[in-house]
Each structure stands twice: as C-alpha cells, then as structure tokens.
Amino acid sequence: MEKAIIASNIFKKYKLFNDTKDRLLDLITHKSYGEDFYALTDVSFEAEKGDVVGFVGINGSGKSTLSNIIAGIVPETSGTVKVNGQVSIIAVASGLKGDLSGRDNIELKLLMLGFNKDEIKVLEPDIIEFAELEKFIDQPVKSYSSGMKSRLGFAISVNVDPDILIIDEALSVGDKAFAEKSLNKMKEFKKQGKTMIFVSHSIGQMKQFCEKILWLEFGKVKDYGTVKDVIPKYEAFLKQWQKMSKKEREAYRSFELEFDEKLPDDPLAEINQARIDSHHPFESDDNYIEELTSRLGHIKSGRSFINSTLGETGEQKSSEGYKNNVFYIKKEATYKGELYYLLSNEPSAKDGVLGWIKASQVSSHIHVAIDNDSKLFYLKGSGSGYSREWGGKKNQVYADLESFKNREFKVDKTVKVGKNLWYRGLLDGKQVWIHNNHLEGKELEQLN
C-alpha cells in the first residue's frame, strides 16, 4: 500500500535556560549554555494511506511534539518525516489568533492554506455552522472558552478536506454532544480512506476509532502495532503507573525500576528512606542550625539551584524544571549565615524530598491545618481546582470551574495558607483543592 507518513529516526532537542542572559549567550557565543532536553529520541514509524493511528502515552511522552512535527509546525532536530498529501492538525487553539474574531481567524487560516477569497466565502458558512458558535463568531477568540476554541479549530480543519488529519486532544474539551458530532465526522473521513493521527487520553475512543497504536514513553517508541496488541499492554502499564508512588515513578523514569505487573506496593521505601535520612539529618552546630517548620512555597523566576545537602559534598541541579509547582516545606536550616528550605512533594520532612534551596529564591506562606470537619459549599463557577493547596500551574486538575457552577462541593479538609483558606473535596471523582473565594454557602467563614 501507499505510504502516507514515514517518520525515520526523529530526534527533537530543546534547550532549557535558567534565565534570559543564558539564552542570549547561547545564541551569540560558541560556548553552550542551558540544559539539553530531548522531547523525542530516535522515533520511527510508518502509516499507510487510510490508516487511523492512535498516539498514547502518559503526559510528557512526546505525543504532541511528534504531532506538530508531522504537521510541519515544529521542525525536527534530526531525522526525516515524509508526508504524502496535505496535513491539517486540530488542537485546542492551534493556530488561532486571540485578538482576532472567530470569523477573521477562519479567513486567516484558510488564506494560509492557499484558499482564495471566493473559496473562503463558500466554506465560511459551513465552518460557522459546524462550530456552533453563533453570535460569538464575531467576538475575539481570546474571550472564548477552551471548548469554543476547540470547536472552531475542529470546524476549520475538517471543512478544508485534508489528506492527513491530526487530532490532538481536541475532543477532551467542550460538551459531549460536540465530541460525538466530531467523532461522526472523523468516521466519515475514515470511510473515505483518509489517514488520521488521533491523540487522546481516552482509551475508549482509541478502541472505538483507531486501527493502530503508537505508544510513546518519555520520548521513545515503546510499542507500535494493532489496537488489539498494544492497548492491553498500555492499559496494564497505566494500572501499575497509577499505583506507583512519586519515588517509584522517578526511579522508573531513570531506569532504576522496571515495569512489572506484580510490582510490590513500595519496593523502594526502605532504600529511599535511608537515603533521605542520611542526606537530610536533623542536626545543629555552629555552622548549621536546622528547625522544623510548616510552609508551602514555589520557586521564583530567575536562576536558582536545588542542593542534595548543605555540605561541600552535595550535588546541585537547576531548579528550572520544578517551577510553576507548589512544594511542602517542613524543614528550614541556617547554613553559614543563610536560610535554606527543604522542598518536598509530600507533606513530610522525609518523603518526596527534592532538596535544599535558598529561602530568598522561594515565595512561601505559613501552612496550617484547620480541621478535617465535613462542610458543604456551592461552586461559584470561577477559579481553578488543584491537586495541592495554594495552586500552581502544574497542579491544575481543572483549569476552569465554569462548567461546575452551582455544583455542590463536599469538603473533608480545611487548611490555611498565609491568610487564605483552602478546601479539599471531590469533584467528578477527582480530589481537588479550591480557594475560599470560589465557594459560597452558609458554612463558609473567613479566618484572619
């Protein structure tokens, strides 16, 4: 059969910089600055014309990076990609300009695809009708919800009748009815023999729609084959991955731990605990004074480092990959006259420890447990839901709570961060923390 996509030995390297100065020096000098990060490593696969290939993998596996390379949006660092036909990618807000209206975006994107004014006039009504944006079509796209952006992007892409269609998580936002409508449109394309790449976290959609599966794991090809062969293996991996602790996941990423369906609950617990205790002893002398504390903090912008210990033999690593997250601080230490915080991913001075960082490079607030009493509030529909109190972009469970407006929120724990109250409860089966400003009810109180 005729090949639609041939990807051969694809590498994609990014540079991670600590600050703008390093980025500039890397451009204008011969010396290399920044840390190399490979989003894709030696990725190869082929798709026949008419194939429907699903890309699976946990977050950060390189699915979207590979999709963008195939679509010609992002260049590969090395390797080659050959595509036979016009490619159209559908992703949330992909290629949309926020300051332009929906109608202007339709015209702009079609002009970029080579359509003339007369052809655009013919296509525009069908695109607007499919997107179901109605009166919002002439409003700026920056005012759209993620679901509205996805509908517009999808409507444009499917109506230009591409040879190869890439759908990157475009059906994960918006309403169920539109998702069903979009799947039906994709089934039409499938009958027409078009080649499609489908990126989704929905295993059900993969089983229903795809014929082949490319499983990416940390930027590498883990497996490629039929849905029947690959999906059961991936489901078994996901089941075990969800049971892994933070320490086990880090060990798996660094090849210290292999995937095994019979993996014990916590095989690294004793080893990691011994390592943490030896690296972070509770001690006091003339140069080193360590005390217990209870704070939440996030790393400030700018260049900073995390130290494994505060002695001369400790290891040091860049904090860049840990920004936009919230960490627990249960120990602080004064070392050679400077205050340091011990960062942890877990509410403990021992478990989930990342290392020491200068207190001046962290924004932090006092963290106090108020109670574990049950409370009932209602969601205002504003704000976001997080996996950790005090938020953090990387901790977002729900970026927008608008769809949950007036929904009951049953609270089982209350904490105070600085002067702010945070409440923990379940929302659609997911445990989230929500700030008191986004809740209302008779039981809501302010503690100052």
Enter the tokens of residue 62.
Answer: 């390189």
* Angle, CA of 275, 297 and 282, to the nearest 5°: 35
Per-residue pLDDT of the chain in tens (448 residues, 90 and over written 9): 688 999 999 999 887 777 777 778 777 877 777 777 888 988 999 999 889 999 999 888 899 899 889 988 889 988 999 998 878 776 654 567 888 899 998 888 888 777 888 888 899 998 898 888 878 899 998 888 777 887 888 888 777 778 888 887 655 555 667 777 777 887 788 888 889 898 888 888 788 888 999 999 888 899 999 999 999 999 888 888 888 777 777 767 665 445 543 333 433 333 333 333 334 444 444 567 778 888 889 898 888 889 888 766 678 888 888 888 889 998 888 887 888 999 998 887 677 888 899 999 998 888 888 888 888 889 999 999 999 888 888 889 999 999 999 999 999 999 888 878 899 999 998 999 999 889 987 444 433 3
**pLDDT attached to residue 283:** 44
Q: Would you say how long the chain is, in residues?
A: 448
Q: Which of 196, 184, 182 is nearest to 147 (CA)?
A: 182
**Gap between the Cα atoms of 293 and 165, Å rounded:** 53
Yes or no: say if 22 and 302 are a contact pair by the CB < 8 Å rule: no
Chosen CATH of 280-367 out of 2.30.30.170, 3.30.70.270, 3.40.50.300, 3.30.930.10: 2.30.30.170
**Gap between the Cα atoms of 390 and 219, Å rounded:** 31
**pLDDT attached to residue 398:** 93
Q: Which residues contact 367 (CB under 8 A, 6 or more apart)?
A: 294, 295, 296, 328, 329, 389, 390, 415, 416, 417
**pLDDT attached to residue 81:** 93
* Angle, CA of 109, 115 and 120, to the nearest 5°: 80
Please tell me what DSSP assigns to residue 443: T
Q: Which of 285, 286, 284, 288 is nearest to 307 (CA)?
A: 288
- How many Cα atoms within 13 Å fall on the side-chain side of residue 344? 19
Q: Which of 5, 162, 60 is nearest to 154 (CA)?
A: 162
**pLDDT attached to residue 227:** 93
**pLDDT attached to residue 255:** 54
Q: Which residues contact 264 (CB under 8 A, 6 or more apart)?
A: none
- How many Cα atoms within 13 Å fall on the side-chain side of residue 289? 6
Per CATH, 3-243 and 280-367 having the same topology is answered no
**pLDDT attached to residue 287:** 61
Helices (H), 29-174: 63-70, 102-112, 117-131, 146-159
Q: Between the CA atoms of 106, 112, 115 and 118, what dihedral angle is there, to the nearest 10 degrees?
A: 50
Burial 219-245 (b: 16+ CB within 10 A, else e): bebbbbeebeebbeebeebeebeeebb
What is the fold of 372-440? SH3 type barrels. (2.30.30)
CATH superfamily placement of domain 3-243: P-loop containing nucleotide triphosphate hydrolases (3.40.50.300)
Domain residue spans in the chain?
Answer: 3-243, 280-367, 372-440
In 3-state terms, what secondary structure has residue 132?
Answer: coil
Residue 217, phi then psi, degrees to nearest 5: -140, 110
Q: At what angle do helices 102-112 and 117-131 cross, to 10 degrees?
A: 130
